[in-house]
Amino acid sequence: MQTPPRTELPLTSASSSGCACCSTSQTLTVPSPVADVEYGVEGLTCGGCVTKVERAVANVDGVDSATIELIPGGVSRLLVTGTAGSDIIAAAVTAAGYGIINR
């Protein structure tokens, strides 16, 4: 039994647009790293205080989320997710009328 003759196929240039395996790869954009930063906040005594600080911090550019674990009369825990700097977070908490402690 004989093998039939083979037909040579031309190669497609990788630079031409074609199927996904032959097309050029696109440049991927890597987002900035998002960090969780914890702060201590003094002076919070109720849910109203928590809401006031969470809203003030959430309105800062670069903040994805701001949540507080309330410890009435003690140092409450503020967890901020995003790329905003500590100075601007501290300014937002202070402007809301509370003290901040970096942890």
Instruction: Give mean pLDDT, residues 14-35.
Output: 58
Q: Report whether pLDDT(11) > 90.
A: no
Question: Tokens at residue 87, please?
Answer: 């100075």
Instruction: State the pLDDT confidence band at 32, using cuts at 50, 70 and 90.
Output: low
What's the length of the chain?
A: 103
Cβ–Cβ < 8 Å for 101, 41: yes
H/E segment holding residue 69: strand 63-69
pTM of the model: 0.66
Q: Report whether pLDDT(23) > 90.
A: no
The whole-chain average pLDDT of the chain stands at 84
Rounded to an integer, what distance in angstroms lies between the CA atom of residue 37 and that of residue 13? Answer: 49
Rounded to an integer, what distance in angstroms lies between the CA atom of residue 33 and that of residue 48? Answer: 31
CATH numbers and ranges of domains, the chain: 35-102 (3.30.70.100)
Question: Tokens at residue 71, please?
Answer: 């410890």
pLDDT, position 15: 58
Dihedral of the alpha carbons of 90, 59, 67, 30, in degrees to the nearest 10: -90
